[in-house]
Amino acid sequence: MLEGLDPEKIPAHVAIIMDGNGRWAKARRLPRVMGHREGMKSVRAVVETARKIGIKVLTLYAFSKENWQRPQDEVSFLMRLLAEYLQKEVDELHQKDIQIRAIGEIELLPKEVYELLVQAIKKTSQNQGMILNLALSYGGRAEIAHAAREIARACLAGKLKIEEVDEALFASYLYTKDLPDPDLLIRTSGELRLSNFLLYQCAYTELYFTPTLWPDFREKEFLEALKDYQRRERRFGKLSEQLKS
């Protein structure tokens, strides 16, 4: 069942920047949106594999705050696709004991999508098998600025002392407050950047970049990324020798 993986080293939290849908379509002379549609199949495959091998949290970067600047047709298509995903897949995710969550400025989503999302979150809130965390209208800097504002507000209201503001307290004001930091971050399509994703949380995350375009990233490619991760030594600033004792 573990497909050649070490069961002792399954990452608790995997985050994925699902990139390259447009290029996948372009290579086939198809409209960009066909790449997004094909990419949904990869979402299904990766969610299924993650659940099967016992990953606890899977965060998918589905739409960035910056993506609102794309042509309106493409934004609308992505929103419709998201609505379709929530309509068609939530029952199955629920059956698989998957809890849906979202991070980002989700109140900016079209009303219909927002409502479907809130319903899905509510319906699956008691599930324990895996957390599927969707980053929607998400920006890392916006998240950090939001946390800073909320902390300032709490200090001014006398609910928090300035001296109490440390790394852990700050993290507790982020959208990811009750989630572990990602152990592994995957980005497809060959781009070597974070594009404003989980900036605070990825301080010690292992990074995996692959030229594979998102619509071509399925179980086999995901397992390869996980095997690569399992070969790494995470030192967190210490020496290799210190880890073995």
Query: Binding to ligand IPE by residue 105, rule CB under 6 A?
Result: no
**From the CB of residue 150, how many other CB atoms can be counted at a distance below 10 Å?**
13
191 binds ligand IPE (CB under 6 A): yes
Q: Among 9, 5, 4, 2, which Cα is nearest to 234's?
A: 9
Q: Which of 19, 38, 89, 206 binds ligand IPE (CB under 6 A)?
A: 19
The question of whether 67 is a catalytic residue gets the answer yes
Decide: is 136 part of the binding site for ligand IPE (CB under 6 A).
no
Q: Tell me, yes or no, if 196 is annotated catalytic.
A: no
- Chain residues 21-60 in contact with ligand IPE, contact rule CB under 6 A: 21-23
Instruction: Check binding of 214 to Mg ion (CB under 5 A).
Output: no
Question: Which residue of this chain has its Cβ atom nearest to ligand IPE in the complex?
Answer: 22
Residue placing its CB nearer to ligand IPE in the complex, 22 or 140: 22
Q: Which of 61, 114, 222, 229 touches ligand IPE by CB under 6 A?
A: 61
Q: Name the residue nearer to ligand IPE (CB basis): 63 or 229.
A: 63
For residue 127, state whether it binds ligand IPE (rule: CB under 6 A): no
> Which one of Mg ion, ligand IPE, none interacts with residue 222, CB within 5 to 8 A by kind?
none
Dihedral in degrees, nearest 10, Cα atoms 209, 46, 110, 182: -50
Of the candidates 13, 15, 17, 19, which one interacts with Mg ion according to CB under 5 A? 19
Figure out which of the listed residues 53, 78, 120, 198 binds ligand IPE, where binding follows CB under 6 A: 78
DSSP symbols for the chain = --TT--GGG--SEEEEE---HHHHHHHTT--HHHHHHHHHHHHHHHHHHHHHHT-SEEEEEEEEGGGGGS-HHHHHHHHHHHHHHHHHHHHHHHHTTEEEEEES-GGGS-HHHHHHHHHHHHHTTT--SEEEEEEEEE-HHHHHHHHHHHHHHHHHTTSS-GGG--HHHHHTTSTTTTSPPPSEEEE-TT--S-TT-STTTTTT-EEEE-SS-GGG--HHHHHHHHHHHHT----TTS-HHHHH-
Whole-number Å distance between alpha carbons of 180 and 162: 24
Residue 10's binding partner out of Mg ion, ligand IPE, none, with CB under 5 to 8 Å set by partner kind: none
- Find the shortest distance in angstroms from Cβ 67 to ligand IPE: 5
Q: Which is nearer to Mg ion, 27 or 152 (CB)?
A: 27
Verify binding: residue 206, Mg ion, rule CB under 5 A. Answer: no
Point out the annotated binding site for substrate.
Answer: 20-24, 32, 36, 64-66, 68, 70, 187, 193-195
- Binding site for Mg(2+), by residue number, is 19, 206
Name the residues that contact ligand IPE, by CB under 6 A: 17-23, 61-64, 67, 78, 189, 191, 193, 195, 214
